Amino acid sequence: MAKTIMIVDDSASMRQVVGIALKGAGYEVIEASDGKDALSKLTGVKIHLIVSDINMPVMDGISFVKEVKQLDQYKFTPIIMLTTEMEEDKKRAAKEAGAKAWVTKPFQPPILLAAIAKLVLP
Amino acid sequence: MTAKAKKNDGILQLSIKDDMTIYNAEALKETLLGYCRPDTRELQLDLSAVAEIDSAGLQLLLLLKAEAQRRGFILRLLRHSEAVIEVFELLKLGMYFGDPIVIPANWKKS
Amino acid sequence: MSDISPALETFSQEVDELLTAMEDALLGLEAAPDDADCINSIFRAMHTIKGSSGLFGFDDIVSFTHQVETVLDKVRNGERSIDSELIAVLLACKDHTAQIVQHVLFNEDEPLPEELQQQSQMLIAGLTGQSAAAAGVPSTQEEKADHFEVDPNTTDSSDNWVISLAFKPDALRNGMDPLSFIRYLQTLGKIVEAIITMPELLNFEDVNPQSCYLSFKIIFNSGCDKKTIEDVFEFAEDDCNIHILPPNSRQEHYLQLLDNLPEDQVKRLGEMLVEIGALTEKEVMRTLHEQWDDANDEPKPLGEMLLEKNILQQPVIEQALKKQESVKQKVNKESNYIRVDAAKLGYLINLVGELVISGAAMRLMVDKHGLSDVDDVASTMSHLVEDIRDTALQLRMVQIGETFTRFQRVVHDVSKELGKQIQLQITGGESELDKTVVEKINDPLTHLVRNSLDHGIETPAERLRAGKPEKGTIQLNAYHDSGRIVIQISDDGKGLDPDRIFAKAVAKGLIKPDQMLSKSEIYHLIFEPGLSTKEEANNLSGRGVGMDVVKRNIEALRGTVSVDSELGQGTVVTIHLPLTLAIIDGFMVEAQKERYIIPLSMVEECVEMSSEEWQIDDVQHYVNLRGQVLPYLRLGDFFHKNKKHTHTQRESLVVVRFGEAKAGFVVDELHGENQTVIKPLGKLFENLNGIGGATVLGSGDVALILDVQGLIQYARKRVNPTLALSSGI
């Protein structure tokens, strides 16, 4: 059974490229453009891992992680945060909120794939 | 409903009809605990419908096995699903549980 | 990826949108400079474009937007205020970003044109007040890991890693599923066995099924290195105690690596073990933490902790401790010095020189007066004086190794800068020579090593193409040879091209196009002023002023330098130097009533100059010495050209050698060995041909010390080579 990954990022091209890479690796992909959009899609589907950006309009990544941790059906889902080297404090905040893995931007798809595979193999 | 049971002469049969993951681990534990009764001689778990099993699910099986030994009843695992076989293979657990694992003919990974 | 073009289209649209939003926000800022929303939207534009570009591997966009983003981050944090000037630059940055994105999208594989690059740099300079290079540019390229890789298929099946994982109760709730990591681990090798343990006496009724009680011990077969395995559990770090015990075959490997560690400084045990890859930095940090946590008693040494925690096998730790001890001893030995003013030392050596002279004077007197009872005392004393002389000179002797190891850093830095892979091998570092010589040899050596780095060793790609190992090697070697020290700088680079050197020398007017030169003569041309084999100069070497200066410096030390090379194979530069500049063992001869000293190390043999035994060509000035053409020089004639001289009945021929070159000096009398303190000639006589210095004899007379090298050259030049050849000898 293919594993499902949700990618939350405000950049459409980022979602698209990551989506292509993930599908190529054998995952199913659900896309969301910000935290709020992502939350609205977290109903009734099984999601094995969430990849989320931090800096997003409407609802940022850290608020989103906090919300996810309140959802009974999703609170144990591993979350990979996409951080940049400038956001050390945010990284800490994300970790406290419950995101235990991270990948530093900018990255190329294989780096993200390797990080995902450690948590969920396709 | 996570499980369905049949009872026959101290031999209990239970089909797990759901994933065995952290999300339902609490409910599953309560169900399983309910079958660890003083008159239980044998508990047969049918795992054929387990589509997904994670460490929490595996941990439950391991804990149940230990509990069975402690209480002195037999735990038998039957009709392992693909997901269960994958985990057992990964950790070489077949020997520990000691149940014959039937690998279906259409088993994709073998 | 061919299915990526729709994504590129999305990217292009997205950039357009973001840049438009950025422009709007920038214009909005003109009116309200503190509007956080505007600043945020500008930041996000650069931030998002950077992220997406990185995904596609558009490094040019990443590096530019990164710089802008950095500045914007400061603005956002209030570290930098926004003014109309900054807004103007940011607007230009926005336009520029659009331009480079356009370029990259339509000329994907072409590098950024010069003008765009310059523009990038100017804008960044405008933003930050510093150049782009100094601001640190991120790259999407993964940094190449420095550890060795082993073919996963070649490992011995009985030789396994032991990985212990003790998960903390919260692991599952944090989304860290042990099974996931173990599954991933399986992609790196083979899980031979897995042992799961749970706390005993765990009552099923009492367990919290969302907590993790599991510990794993995994017997794992893989050729990966420790860091790679540790990285599998990167994200579990907070939720799991991890121990990775390397397989036994690794031990051998670690022991070998330990042996090869340089011994230049005392390192901490942890540092050494991390350096050889036996331990990862995380393991060290963790163990050190535990060391402090157990602080109720004396903290245990790291080695003991590592052993106790079973992080590393005993032999490796023992070997590392041994190595540490030996380095410590070595460094201690080195630091067990008394610092002495060099001038005082110089004065002492000078005095010893005088002592040698007066010792010789006494010897003379004893012989002259036939004082046989004083003879024994005088002999003992001259032995003592000899010992004192040797010891005094030893004081100034230092090992050349220290000078050599300094180049490790140069090689490391420069090769990185040049994008080459170069290792420096040092041999003969224990060879000793006078400190004054060492000090003066540093500059020429630096130049030669940098030459090898720049022009000798090729880039990794070129080397692979030439069928050579990717990593180039520069070797520094030193050894003693007949009272001199020989220093060799060799590389396995591309070698010198004789044709190019010849052409260049012709172009510079150093030689005529029709001149016939041997290969070694051509190579020697590189020491001529104004000749450099590289077309363009760079910031290290190759401005064409190098090699002649090198040669001059070395000759000033009474040394020589020569070069040999094989095109495509490498180059060897050999330097001959005297061990010391102060005192030499001399061989005293006499010609025309004048005494001369020849450095003893250069004297090959002395034979009688008789025309019956050797064919002497008095016109061409050579003798046939056992079938060897040997040019000779009458010292009396050479130094007293205008004086009529009388040939004594029995002349002697002193055969001298300098490097490969030999010549004979014809003298009237041989006086034998003698220790000589070199007194430099005054400024006035500095340029005298054939004289290297002078010394005062025991009798108070002055003897001249011959410049053998110069005289050999003179003698060899005088012999017409064609004639010598046609005479069949």
Q: CATH number for the domain including B37?
A: 3.30.750.24
Using a CB–CB cut-off of 8 Å, the residues of B that contact C are 22, 25-26, 28-29, 32-33, 36, 54-56, 58-60, 62-64, 66-67, 87, 90-93, 96
Mean of all residue pLDDT scores within chain C: 78
Q: Is C717 left (phi over 0), alpha (psi -120 to 50) or beta?
A: alpha
- CA C587 vs. chain centroid, Å, equals 40
- The distance of B24 to chain A (nearest Cα, Å) reads 9
In chain B, residues with a C-beta closer than 8 Å to the C-beta of A4 are: none
> C469: cis peptide before it, omega within 30°?
no
Number of structural domains found in chain B: 1
Indicate the Cα dihedral angle C35, C39, C40, C42, nearest 10°.
140
**Paired residues of C398 in beta bridges:** C433
Residue from C176, C201, C204 to probe the interface with B (highest B Cβ count within 10 Å): C204
- Please determine, for residue C210, whether its predicted confidence score (pLDDT) is greater than 50: yes
Across B15-24, C132-141, C538-547, the highest mean pLDDT is recorded for B15-24
Sheet with C615-617, side-by-side order of all strands: C603-608, C652-658, C661-667, C628-634, C622-625, C615-617
* A117 in contact with C, Cβ within 8 Å: yes
CB count, 10 Å around CB of C547? 26
* A72 in contact with B, Cβ within 8 Å: yes
- Please determine, for residue C536, whether its predicted confidence score (pLDDT) is greater than 80: no
In chain B, residues with a C-beta closer than 8 Å to the C-beta of A1 are: 51-52, 83
**Any idea how long chain C is?**
729
Give CA–CA dist C270/C642, Å, rounded. 76
Q: What are phi and psi of A112, to 5 degrees?
A: -65, -40
Give CA–CA dist A35/A19, Å, rounded. 17
Residues C99 and C214 in one domain: no
- The distance of B35 to chain C (nearest Cα, Å) reads 12
Q: Provide the strand spans (E) within B21-64.
A: 42-46
Q: What are phi and psi of B40, to 5 degrees?
A: -70, 125
C717 in any annotated domain: yes
How, if at all, do strands C484-491 and C560-566 pair?
unpaired
B64 in any annotated domain: yes
Of the ranges A45-49, B51-55, C231-235, C607-611, which one carries the lowest mean pLDDT score?
C607-611
In chain C, residues with a C-beta closer than 8 Å to the C-beta of A16 are: 6-7, 10-11
Mean pLDDT of C290-296: 66
Rg (CA), chain A: 13
Across A48-52, A93-97, C203-207, C402-406, the highest mean pLDDT is recorded for A48-52
Give CA–CA dist A76/A62, Å, rounded. 16
Residues C87 and C210 in one domain: no
Is C204 in contact with B63 (Cβ distance < 8 A)?
Answer: yes
- Please determine, for residue C704, whether its predicted confidence score (pLDDT) is greater than 80: yes
What lies within 8 Å, CB to CB, of B98 at 6+ separation is none
Q: Which helix (H) or strand (E) holds C343?
A: helix C342-369
- ipTM score of the complex? 0.90
Is B22 in contact with A72 (Cβ distance < 8 A)?
Answer: no
CB count, 10 Å around CB of C487? 26
Contact at 8 Å (CB) between C623 and C651?
no
Three-state SS for C419? Answer: coil
* C326 in contact with A, Cβ within 8 Å: no
Question: pLDDT class for B35, splitting at 50, 70, 90?
Answer: confident
CB count, 10 Å around CB of C448? 28
DSSP A65-77: HHHHTT-TTTTT-
Indicate the Cα dihedral angle B93, B95, B98, B104, nearest 10°.
70
Sheet with A49-53, side-by-side order of all strands: A28-32, A4-8, A49-53, A79-84, A101-105
Question: pLDDT class for A8, splitting at 50, 70, 90?
Answer: very high
pTM over 0.80: no
Question: pLDDT class for C542, splitting at 50, 70, 90?
Answer: very low
The per-residue pLDDT for range C341-393, each reduced to its tens digit, is: 878 887 887 788 778 778 877 877 888 888 888 888 888 888 888 788 778 87
pLDDT at residue C8, as a whole number:
84
pLDDT at residue A102, as a whole number:
86
- With contact defined as 3+ CB pairs under 8 Å, the chains touching A are B, C
The per-residue pLDDT for range A112-122, each reduced to its tens digit, is: 998 999 999 88
- Which residue segment(s) compose the domain that C480 sits in? 399-578
Q: Provide the strand spans (E) within C558-660.
A: 560-566, 570-578, 583-591, 594-599, 603-608, 615-617, 622-625, 628-634, 652-658
Q: Which residues of C356-371 are buried (b: 16+ CB within 10 A; e: fewer)?
A: bbebbebbeebeeeee
Given A55, A100, A117, which is nearest C176 (Cβ)? A100
Residue from C180, C186, C210, C238 to probe the interface with A (highest A Cβ count within 10 Å): C180
Residue from C55, C165, C182, C185 to probe the interface with A (highest A Cβ count within 10 Å): C55
pLDDT at residue A23, as a whole number:
92
B36 in any annotated domain: yes
Helices C84-106, C59-76: axis angle to 10 degrees equals 160
Give CA–CA dist C283/C241, Å, rounded. 10
In chain A, residues with a C-beta closer than 8 Å to the C-beta of C6 are: 16
Sheet with C240-245, side-by-side order of all strands: C190-197, C215-221, C161-167, C240-245
What lies within 8 Å, CB to CB, of C437 at 6+ separation is C485, C557, C577, C578, C579, C580, C581
Question: pLDDT class for C142, splitting at 50, 70, 90?
Answer: very low
Minimal Cα distance from B23: which residue of C?
A: C210
Is B22 in contact with A76 (Cβ distance < 8 A)?
Answer: yes
In chain A, residues with a C-beta closer than 8 Å to the C-beta of B50 are: none
In chain A, residues with a C-beta closer than 8 Å to the C-beta of B108 are: none
- Please determine, for residue B106, whether its predicted confidence score (pLDDT) is greater than 80: no
Give CA–CA dist C133/C119, Å, rounded. 14
B56 in any annotated domain: yes
Given B22, B23, B52, which is nearest A1 (Cβ)? B52
Question: pLDDT class for C682, splitting at 50, 70, 90?
Answer: low
Is A85 in contact with C138 (Cβ distance < 8 A)?
Answer: yes
Domain final residue, candidates C280, C302, C326: C326
* C396 in contact with A, Cβ within 8 Å: no
Structure-token pair, residue C602: 């250069």
- Please determine, for residue C333, whether its predicted confidence score (pLDDT) is greater than 70: no
Q: Which helix (H) or strand (E) holds C425?
A: strand C422-427
In chain B, residues with a C-beta closer than 8 Å to the C-beta of C203 are: 67
pLDDT at residue A31, as a whole number:
93
Contact at 8 Å (CB) between C689 and C710?
yes
B55 in any annotated domain: yes
Residues C140 and C178 in one domain: no
User: What letter would DSSP give residue B2?
Assistant: -
- Please determine, for residue C266, whether its predicted confidence score (pLDDT) is greater than 50: yes
Residues C604 and C692 in one domain: yes
- With contact defined as 3+ CB pairs under 8 Å, the chains touching C are A, B
In chain C, residues with a C-beta closer than 8 Å to the C-beta of B69 are: none
- Please determine, for residue C723, whether its predicted confidence score (pLDDT) is greater than 80: no
Q: Provide the strand spans (E) within C618-710.
A: 622-625, 628-634, 652-658, 661-667, 669-677, 691-696, 702-706
Q: How many C-alpha atoms does C720 have within 13 Å on its Cβ side?
A: 8
Counting one residue from chain B and one from chain C, the pairs whose CB atoms sit within 8 A come to 71
Given C173, C175, C210, which is nearest A79 (Cβ)? C175
CATH number of the domain encompassing residue C76: 1.20.120.160
Q: How many C-alpha atoms does C136 have within 13 Å on its Cβ side?
A: 5
Structure-token pair, residue B94: 């077949």
Structure-token pair, residue C555: 């000759």
Task: List A residues 25-44 in contact with C (Cβ-Cβ < 8 A).
Answer: none
pLDDT at residue C580, as a whole number:
67
Residues C468 and C617 in one domain: no
What lies within 8 Å, CB to CB, of C45 at 6+ separation is C18, C19, C21, C22, C25, C94
Residues C588 and C565 in one domain: no
The per-residue pLDDT for range B13-34, each reduced to its tens digit, is: 888 888 899 998 999 999 888 8
C1 in any annotated domain: no
Structure-token pair, residue C50: 């950077």
Number of structural domains found in chain C: 5
- Please determine, for residue A32, whether its predicted confidence score (pLDDT) is greater than 90: yes
Minimal Cα distance from C196: which residue of B?
A: B91
Residues C426 and C286 in one domain: no
Contact at 8 Å (CB) between C473 and C572?
no
Residues C74 and C216 in one domain: no
The per-residue pLDDT for range C379-433, each reduced to its tens digit, is: 888 888 878 877 887 787 888 888 888 888 888 888 888 888 888 888 888 888 8
Structure-token pair, residue A120: 């969920």
Minimal Cα distance from B19: which residue of A?
A: A46
* A44 in contact with B, Cβ within 8 Å: no
How, if at all, do strands C669-677 and C583-591 pair?
antiparallel
B105 in any annotated domain: no
The residue written with tokens 């010394």 in the block is C695
- Please determine, for residue B80, whether its predicted confidence score (pLDDT) is greater than 70: yes
Is A121 in contact with C183 (Cβ distance < 8 A)?
Answer: yes
Structure-token pair, residue C454: 């720049």
- Please determine, for residue C138, whether its predicted confidence score (pLDDT) is greater than 50: no
- With contact defined as 3+ CB pairs under 8 Å, the chains touching B are A, C
pLDDT at residue A37, as a whole number:
92
Q: Among C216, C267, C224, C266, which residue's Cα sits nearest to residue C240?
A: C216
B108 in any annotated domain: no
B84 in any annotated domain: yes
Is B58 in contact with C179 (Cβ distance < 8 A)?
Answer: yes
Contact at 8 Å (CB) between C597 and C674?
yes
Give CA–CA dist C434/C415, Å, rounded. 31
Given C173, C186, C204, which is nearest B64 (Cβ)? C204
Give CA–CA dist B85/B100, Å, rounded. 11
DSSP C15-76: HHHHHHHHHHHHHHHHH-TT-HHHHHHHHHHHHHHHHHHHHHT-HHHHHHHHHHHHHHHHHH
Contact at 8 Å (CB) between C273 and C250?
no
Domain final residue, candidates C117, C146, C175: C146
pLDDT at residue C378, as a whole number:
83
Counting one residue from chain A and one from chain B, the pairs whose CB atoms sit within 8 A come to 7
Burial tier of C509 (Cβ tally within 10 Å: 0-12, 13-18, 19+): exposed
- Cα end-to-end distance, chain C, whole Å: 75
- Please determine, for residue C558, whether its predicted confidence score (pLDDT) is greater than 90: no
The per-residue pLDDT for range C616-641, each reduced to its tens digit, is: 777 777 888 787 888 888 888 888 77
B48 in any annotated domain: yes
- Which residue segment(s) compose the domain that B74 sits in? 3-97
Mean pLDDT of C186-202: 82
Mean pLDDT of C291-297: 63
What lies within 8 Å, CB to CB, of B51 at 6+ separation is A1, B19, B81, B83
- The distance of A2 to chain C (nearest Cα, Å) reads 14
Q: What are phi and psi of C99, to 5 degrees?
A: -65, -50
Mean pLDDT of A79-86: 82
Contact at 8 Å (CB) between C529 and C549?
no
Residues C509 and C609 in one domain: no
Residues C712 and C594 in one domain: yes
How far CA C163 is from CA of A114, C190, C232, C674, in Å, comes to 20, 12, 11, 72
Is B90 in contact with C191 (Cβ distance < 8 A)?
Answer: yes
Residues C465 and C564 in one domain: yes
- The distance of B26 to chain A (nearest Cα, Å) reads 12
In chain A, residues with a C-beta closer than 8 Å to the C-beta of B52 are: 1
Q: Among A33, A75, B93, which residue's Cα sits nearest to residue C172?
A: A75
Question: pLDDT class for C573, splitting at 50, 70, 90?
Answer: very high
**CA quadruple C669, C671, C673, C677: dihedral positive or negative?**
negative
Minimal Cα distance from C37: which residue of A?
A: A57
pLDDT at residue A39, as a whole number:
92
Residues C170 and C232 in one domain: yes
Is pLDDT larger for residue C20 or for residue B105?
C20
**Any idea how long chain A is?**
122
